Amino acid sequence: MERLPSRLRRYVAAIRAVAVLTVLLGLVYPLVTTGVAQALFDDHADGSLVLAGGREVGSALIGQSFTGPDGEPVRKYFQSRPSAAGYDPTATGASNLGPEDVVDTLPTPGEEGRQSLLTQVCARSKAVGELEGVSGARPYCTPDGVGAVLKVFPGRAVSVNQPCPATPFTASYRGLKVECATPGEDYAAGRTVPVRGAAGPPAVPADAVTASGSGLDPHISVAYARLQAARVAGERGLDRAAVERLIDQHTTGRALGFMGEPAVNVLELNLALDRS
């Protein structure tokens, strides 16, 4: 070593350093950690798997969709939040749509179109409202479940998410007659005006109409669980109070009283219902 030129010596040391540290930090450290973790907390380390009737039905930490083969909610189960990943742990992620993503691309023959985040929220709210028998109305949403958004031009206003022949959610805007939208027409030049409307506080909670970060959120809010209790109780011929007691049992409060938000684990709640 000492006889090599100093630059070469430096690179030999660098190669050796990478090799030695890779063995120590890349192999020994994770292997020892795995060994100890498996010895102390094997259930957690293996993914908190949940059994029902002797077979594995999922993980207590990973959400599932409780829908049938047709994609419709199975009525006897509590439903999870919307997911941008379809609850697939091999393709996790969020929608990444922005807070002012309010204009849809309407489908035309040959083009699929794209729903804005606002329309997704409105459509989910309407669907949940219908499923639970409550109003799905919310601010900035039309009665037919899309974003209430106008594109305003000089002398002209278009309800841009409502394709003709739909009736626009409002007849006029500042003296302009509001038209329905023609799919394929370019409205980009108009000024975007979301319209709040008269809807009060919505009956459908926020977590029921928004997708999570991971796409695997195992929880719903206590409010969303209570909203679903009547349907689930009716479907199963159970007393509503009994279902609400189960909700309470599967609600995790804030850790130490102040960390995070109270949440209901949907898979565990549904399993408890199946057992009762």
Partner 1 sequence: MSATAAGALFVVSLVVALALVHRPLGDYMHRVYTGARHNAAERVLYRLLGVRADAEQGWAVYARSLLAFSLVSLLVVYGLQRLQDRLPLSLGMEPVTDHIAWNTAVSFVTNTNWQAYSGESTMGHLVQMAALAVQNFVSASVGMAVAVALVRGFARRKAETIGNFWVDLVRGCVRILLPIAFAGALVLVSGGLVQNFAAPHEVTTLTGGVQHITGGPVASQEVIKELGTNGGGFYNANSSHPFENATSWTNWFEIFLILLIPFALPRTFGRMVGQLRQGRAILAVMGVLALAGVVLTNVFELSGDATVPQAAGAALEGKELRFGVSGSATFAAATTLTSTGAVNSFHDSYTPLGGMMPLVNMMLGEVAPGGVGAGLYGMLVLAVITVFVAGLMVGRTPEYLGKKIGAREIKLASLYFLVTPMLVLTGTALAMGSAEQRAGMLNSGPHGLTEVLYAFTSASNNNGSAFAGLTVSTPWYDVALGLCMILGRFLSIILVLALAGSLARQSSVPEGAGTLPTHRPQFVGLVVGVTVVLVALTFLPALALGPLAEGLS
- Which 16-75 residues touch partner 1, going by CB under 8 A? 16-18, 20-22, 24-27, 29-30, 32-34, 36-38, 40-41, 44-49, 52, 55-59, 61-69, 74
Sheet of 251-252: strand order equals: 219-220, 263-265, 251-252
Which residue's CB is nearer to partner 1, number 165 or number 211? 211
Find where tokens 């083969």 sit: 69
With a CB cutoff of 8 Å and minimum separation 6, the contacts of 238 are: 232, 273, 276
| Shortest distance (Å) from residue 234 CB to partner 1 | 19
Compute the distance between CA of residue 90 and CA of residue 206 in angstroms, rounded to an integer. 26
Find the binding residues for partner 1 in span 177-216 (CB under 8 A): 194, 196, 201-202, 205-207, 209-216
Q: Which lies closer to partner 1 via its Cβ, residue 125 or residue 157? A: 125
80-119 binders of partner 1 (CB under 8 A)? 81, 85, 87-102, 117-118
Count of residues that bind partner 1 according to CB under 8 A: 113
Distance of closest approach, residue 134 Cβ to partner 1, in angstroms: 14
| In the complex, minimum distance from the CB of residue 165 to partner 1, in angstroms, rounded to a whole number | 25
Min separation Cβ 93 and partner 1, Å:
5
Using rule CB under 8 A, residue 235 touches partner 1: no
Phi, psi torsion values for 217, nearest 5 degrees: -55, 120
Residue type, 86: G
Long-range pairs of 71-76 with CB within 8 A, sequence gap ≥ 24: 73/131, 75/131, 75/231, 75/232, 75/235, 76/232, 76/235, 76/236, 76/273
Q: Phi then psi for 107, rounded to 5 degrees?
A: -70, 140
Provide the token pair at 49: 């798997």
Residue among 170 and 214 whose Cβ is closer to partner 1? 214
Q: From the list 171, 189, 198, 255, which residue makes contact with partner 1 (rule: CB under 8 A)?
A: 255
Residues composing the chain: 276
Assigned token pair, 123: 């459509």
CA distance 208 to 124: 8
d(CA 125, CA 141): 9
Nearest partner of 103 among 198, 201, 185, judged by Cα: 185
Distance in Å, CB of 258 to partner 1, minimum: 4
From CA 145, how far away is CA 138, in angstroms rounded? 9
Nearer CB in complex with partner 1: 6/175: 6
Query: Could you say which of 115, 142, 228, 270 contacts partner 1 (CB under 8 A)?
Result: 270
Termini Cα distance of the chain? 74
Which lies closer to partner 1 via its Cβ, residue 177 or residue 254? Answer: 254
Beta carbon nearer to partner 1, 1 or 198: 1
Instruction: Name the minimum Å distance from CB 76 to partner 1.
Output: 10
Nearer to partner 1, 37 or 180 (CB): 37
Binding positions for partner 1, 137-166, rule CB under 8 A: 138-141, 147
